């Protein structure tokens, strides 16, 4: 599925596709689209996509021929977690542009669910925001460390619980405009209470919340962390799809 779909406007799809189709006539595409439905542009697109898959393939091939090309990547600054670069990129029109790029070593996180259904959350100070936040357990990868082991390790270090079972939930890219950070998020269950193993610069408080409480904090603006919001809603959608918030 192409990202333009998410913009929910069939006019944009046509404007993007038509210039790449060469001798394909605009009225042919319009006929395939059929009657536009502003209330459900996705359904209109699917009608078009199912009717003319060859046009989509032709459009994708044309787009591939117009890809941007990175000419150079120059390190500007190196930190403990990230590296900052300036990239020189050749554009489809032949000109060049300078892009910021932040390289990240990668991270792992987990939705840790107790036997009673509550989720373990950690509260810690985040310097970038200059305040405490509520998040799922997460952390950076050690060199060569598989993300599934890192997620289990972070659960134990930050919450004091070990997980008897851990399985993939979702993978997210946190800031695609300028950073390659990737976080593999897992579901950790069969939890056994132990002791925290925090780093010297970590001060983490742990508290268990119901899924309903967490949803209220998300929509109330208390939880703003992207990985946490993504993980909680993915968990609800996959494992608790019929659970309804009592305030709805």
How many domains does the chain contain in total?
3
Residues 138 and 222 in one domain: yes
pTM for the model stands at 0.71
Task: Give yes or no for a contact between 41 and 10, defined as CB atoms under 8 angstroms apart.
Answer: yes
Are both 156 and 175 inside the same structural domain?
Answer: yes
pLDDT tens digits, residue range 150-161?
999 999 999 999
Tokens found for residue 72 = 């150079």
Q: CA-based Rg of the chain, rounded to a whole angstrom?
A: 23
Same domain, 79 and 19: no
Residue 4 pLDDT greater than 80, yes or no: no
Same domain, 117 and 158: yes
Q: In this predicted model, which residue has the larger pLDDT, 55 or 148?
A: 148
Q: Which domain holds residue 215?
A: 105-239
Q: Is 224 among the residues known to form the active site?
A: no
**pLDDT tens-digit map of 108-127:** 999 999 999 999 999 999 99
244 alpha carbon, distance to own chain's centre: 24
| Residue-wise pLDDT tens digits, 181-217 | 999 999 999 999 987 766 666 678 999 999 999 999 9
Which residue pairs, CB below 8 angstroms and at least 24 apart, start in 97-105? 99/178, 100/178, 101/73, 101/178, 101/179, 101/180, 102/175, 102/178, 102/179, 102/180, 102/181, 103/179, 103/180, 104/179, 104/180, 104/181, 104/182, 105/81, 105/140, 105/141
The answer to whether residue 246 is domain-embedded is no
- Dump pLDDT digits (tens) for 57-111: 665 655 555 678 899 999 999 998 999 999 999 998 889 999 999 999 999 999 9
So what's the pLDDT on residue 247? 58
The mean of the pLDDT values for the chain is 82
Residue 218 lies in a domain: yes
Q: How far apart are CA 119 and CA 240, in angstroms?
A: 13
> Do 110 and 10 lie in a common domain?
no
Catalytic residue among 200, 215, 216, 224: 200
Query: CA 179 to CA 173: how far, in whole Å?
Result: 8
Residue 248 domain-assigned? no
Query: Does residue 44 contact residue 59 with C-beta atoms inside 8 Å?
Result: no
- Do residues 165 and 189 touch, judged by C-beta distance below 8 A? yes
| pLDDT attached to residue 215 | 97
């Amino acid at each position: 599925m192409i990202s333009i779909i998410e913009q929910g406007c069939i006019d944009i799809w046509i404007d993007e596709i038509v210039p790449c189709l060469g001798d394909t006539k605009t009225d042919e595409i319009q006929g395939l689209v059929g009657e536009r439905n502003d209330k459900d542009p996705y359904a209109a697109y699917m009608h078009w996509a199912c009717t003319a898959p060859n046009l989509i393939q032709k459009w994708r091939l044309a787009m591939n021929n117009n890809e941007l090309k990175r000419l150079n990547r120059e390190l500007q600054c190196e930190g403990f977690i990230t590296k900052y670069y300036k990239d020189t990129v050749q554009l489809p029109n032949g000109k060049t542009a300078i892009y910021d790029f932040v390289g990240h070593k990668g991270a792992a996180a987990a939705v840790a669910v107790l036997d009673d259904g509550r989720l373990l959350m950690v509260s810690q100070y985040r310097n970038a925001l200059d305040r405490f936040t509520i998040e799922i357990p997460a952390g950076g990868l050690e060199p060569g460390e598989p993300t599934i082991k890192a997620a289990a390790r972070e659960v134990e270090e930050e919450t004091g619980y070990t997980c008897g079972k851990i399985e993939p939930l979702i993978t997210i890219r946190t800031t695609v405009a300028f950073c390659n950070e990737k976080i593999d998020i897992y579901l950790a269950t069969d939890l056994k209470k132990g002791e925290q193993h925090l780093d010297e610069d970590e001060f983490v408080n742990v508290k268990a919340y119901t899924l309903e409480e967490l949803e209220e904090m998300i929509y109330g603006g208390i939880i703003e962390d992207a990985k946490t919001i993504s993980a909680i809603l993915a968990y609800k959608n996959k494992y608790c799809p019929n659970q309804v918030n009592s305030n709805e």
